[in-house]
């Protein structure tokens, strides 16, 4: 039996992962499931999958989790220390599906145990790509991309020589506001931003899709994961979300990965890699689809794309700064401190403040330096938002 753990089990990716695992329970021995405030879901899944331990991120939810697991034989634990402890329990395959830079350390710990890490948490690659790859290499582990675009690129590269790759194109749906007039964006509300035309995902990534911060993170993730030059990476708007990515080769061939917008494909591919197995995803009827559309990804509408270019060039701790500033700006948008279009302004200001000085320039990536950069960027973002509110 394969030992598996799921970090962020109660979220959108976590639940899709559980859906796949629960279809063949005899093949898996579940080590740890982790979640947040949704204790009922966490306990229900931990019982159903007979997990060794269930961990909530919140200390004050421990009693509730204990009560919900009573008599099940599943251990209950709570808080950051418990989460990290659970991440160090040996497992063969681990799903990293916590949202935000909070997912970095658990993923690193799993890699240090030599696990294969299915990586939905793109923030890990954005903040600490070289550290992630090096940790996997040192401990004989492996990182399997779960972000649909990166899974698509990974699949298009099977059997290919990286030296023959000319470019990588990742697609973007354009999110909730792709057809809105530019002037209307400043007044967009969180509820409006949190609806996605094609994918059903967690709230934060859905809003990041509307602002294209999600695509910006993915461009950086592409650079870090596949170790290719920024000039070889592009994003294109593809409203149908059926082609997830394309890889262009030196002979002019362009290999596209096509499939329905269902994350169980990318999750299942990572779960069964290097094999391919049956997966419960819809099969496309191409004639019924009729056509596929593409548009330029406009950097005026989506300034996050422009910002990601400088991060890909700078590398080092710039990714951690960019991601943390974005996370705080998104908090600020969600709680009404700033408007939709101000998120990119805040991130740009944090990046320019921290690019010179503050000891962030040396590119030594350790968990400590990354988390320090993350912390500093959050402080700066908060200060900038407070100053704007006061003006
Ligand atoms: P989600 O909000 O639905 O779920 C997040 C999970 O992380 C939950 O289990 C939550 O309890 C847990 N969590 C949140 N904050 C935490 C913290 N500080 N400490 C510990 N646990 C915490 O998010 P999601 O949409 O499933 O996305 C998860 C990750 O996968 C993100 O990095 C996202 O960018 C990436 N991703 C998601 C999709 C998708 O279709 N949802 C696609 C590609 C990539
Ligand atoms: Mg994606």
In a shared domain, residues 164 and 218: yes
In a shared domain, residues 169 and 257: yes
Decide if 132 is inside a domain. Answer: yes
Collapse the DSSP code of 5 into the 3-class scheme (helix H, G, I; strand E, B; otherwise coil) and give the result.
Answer: strand
Measured from the alpha carbon of residue 216, the closest ligand is: 2
Query: What number does the ligand 1 atom closest to the CA of 106 have?
Result: 20
Ligand 1 within 6 A of CB of 82: no
In a shared domain, residues 157 and 299: yes
Decide if 270 is inside a domain. Answer: no
Q: 13 CA distance to ligand 1 centroid (A)?
A: 7
Ligand 1 within 6 A of CB of 170: no
Decide if 268 is inside a domain. Answer: no
Ligand 1 within 6 A of CB of 105: no
Question: In CATH, what number is assigned to the domain containing residue 122?
Answer: 3.40.50.720
Decide if 104 is inside a domain. Answer: yes
User: Alpha-carbon distance 181 to 163, whole Å?
Assistant: 42
The helix (H) or strand (E) run that includes residue 246 is strand 243-249
φ, ψ at 42 (rounded to 5°): -60, -45
Ligand 1 within 6 A of CB of 320: no
Q: Domain limits at 298?
A: 146-261+286-305
Of 130, 145, 160, the residue at which a domain comes to its end is: 145
In a shared domain, residues 75 and 169: no
In a shared domain, residues 181 and 295: yes
For residue 228, the model assigns a pLDDT of 96
Is 346 within 8 Å of 384 (Cβ atoms)? yes
Q: How many domains does the chain have?
A: 3
Nearest CA residue ID for atom 42, ligand 1: 147
Is 51 within 8 Å of 32 (Cβ atoms)? yes
In a shared domain, residues 157 and 117: no
Decide if 348 is inside a domain. Answer: yes
Comparing CA positions, the residue from 256, 33, 223 lying closest to residue 122 is 223
In a shared domain, residues 70 and 141: yes
Ligand 1 within 6 A of CB of 35: yes
Torsion of CA 77, 79, 82, 87, to 10 degrees: 110
Is 116 within 8 Å of 141 (Cβ atoms)? yes
Q: List for the chain the helix, strand, coil content (%; round to 5).
A: 50, 15, 35
Ligand 1 test: best mutation among 83, 99, 323, most atoms within 8 Å of CB?
A: 99
- Order of strands, edge to edge, in the sheet holding 75-78? 75-78, 53-56, 28-35, 2-7, 93-96, 116-119, 142-145
- Segments in the chain below pLDDT 50: none
For residue 356, the model assigns a pLDDT of 65
Ligand 1 within 6 A of CB of 122: yes
Of 94, 119, 145, the residue at which a domain comes to its end is: 145
Comparing CA positions, the residue from 269, 298, 247 lying closest to residue 116 is 269
For residue 364, the model assigns a pLDDT of 76
User: Alpha-carbon distance 366 to 80, whole Å?
Assistant: 19
In a shared domain, residues 160 and 294: yes
Q: How many CB atoms lie within 10 A of CB 160?
A: 13
For residue 294, the model assigns a pLDDT of 98
User: Alpha-carbon distance 243 to 261, whole Å?
Assistant: 9
In a shared domain, residues 157 and 139: no
For residue 144, the model assigns a pLDDT of 98
User: Alpha-carbon distance 165 to 340, whole Å?
Assistant: 37
Nearest CA residue ID for atom 17, ligand 1: 102
For residue 355, the model assigns a pLDDT of 79
Ligand 1 within 6 A of CB of 201: yes
Decide if 18 is inside a domain. Answer: yes
Ligand 1 within 6 A of CB of 380: no
Q: 99 CA distance to ligand 1 centroid (A)?
A: 3
User: Alpha-carbon distance 213 to 208, whole Å?
Assistant: 5
């Amino acid at each position: 039996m394969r030992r598996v753990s799921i970090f962020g089990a109660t979220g959108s990716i976590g639940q899709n992962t559980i859906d796949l695992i629960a279809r063949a329970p005899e093949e898996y021995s579940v080590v740890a499931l982790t979640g947040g405030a949704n204790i009922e879901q966490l306990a229900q899944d931990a019982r159903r999958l007979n997990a060794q331990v269930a961990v909530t991120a919140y200390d004050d939810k421990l009693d509730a989790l204990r009560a919900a697991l009573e008599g099940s034989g599943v251990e209950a634990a709570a808080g950051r220390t418990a989460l990290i402890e659970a991440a160090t329990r040996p497992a063969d395959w681990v799903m990293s599906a916590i949202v935000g830079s909070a997912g970095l350390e658990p993923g690193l710990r799993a890699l240090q145990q030599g696990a294969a890490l299915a990586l939905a948490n793109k923030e890990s690659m954005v903040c600490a790509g070289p550290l992630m790859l090096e940790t996997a290499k040192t401990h004989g582990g492996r990182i399997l991309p779960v972000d649909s675009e990166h899974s698509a690129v990974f699949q298009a590269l099977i059997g290919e020589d990286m030296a023959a790759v000319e470019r990588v194109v990742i697609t973007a749906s354009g999110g909730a506001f792709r057809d809105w007039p530019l002037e209307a964006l400043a007044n967009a509300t969180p509820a409006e931003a949190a609806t996605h035309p094609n994918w059903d995902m967690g709230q934060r990534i859905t809003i990041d899709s509307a602002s294209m911060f999600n695509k910006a993170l993915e461009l950086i993730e592409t650079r870090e994961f596949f170790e290719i030059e920024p000039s070889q990476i592009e994003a294109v708007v593809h409203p149908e979300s059926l082609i997830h990515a394309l890889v262009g080769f030196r002979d002019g061939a362009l290999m596209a990965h096509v499939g329905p917008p269902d994350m169980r494909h990318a999750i299942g591919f990572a779960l069964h890699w290097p094999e391919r197995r049956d997966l419960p995803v819809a099969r496309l009827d191409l004639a019924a689809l009729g056509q596929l559309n593409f548009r330029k990804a406009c950097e005026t509408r989506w300034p996050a794309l422009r910002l990601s270019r400088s991060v890909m060039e700078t590398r080092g701790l710039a990714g951690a700064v960019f991601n943390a500033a974005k996370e705080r700006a998104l908090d600020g948008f969600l709680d009404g401190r700033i408007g939709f279009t101000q998120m990119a302004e805040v991130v740009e200001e944090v990046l320019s403040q921290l690019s010179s000085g503050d000891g962030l320039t040396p590119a030594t990536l350790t968990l400590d330096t990354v988390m320090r950069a993350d912390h500093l960027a959050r402080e700066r973002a908060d200060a900038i938002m407070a100053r704007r509110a006061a003006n």
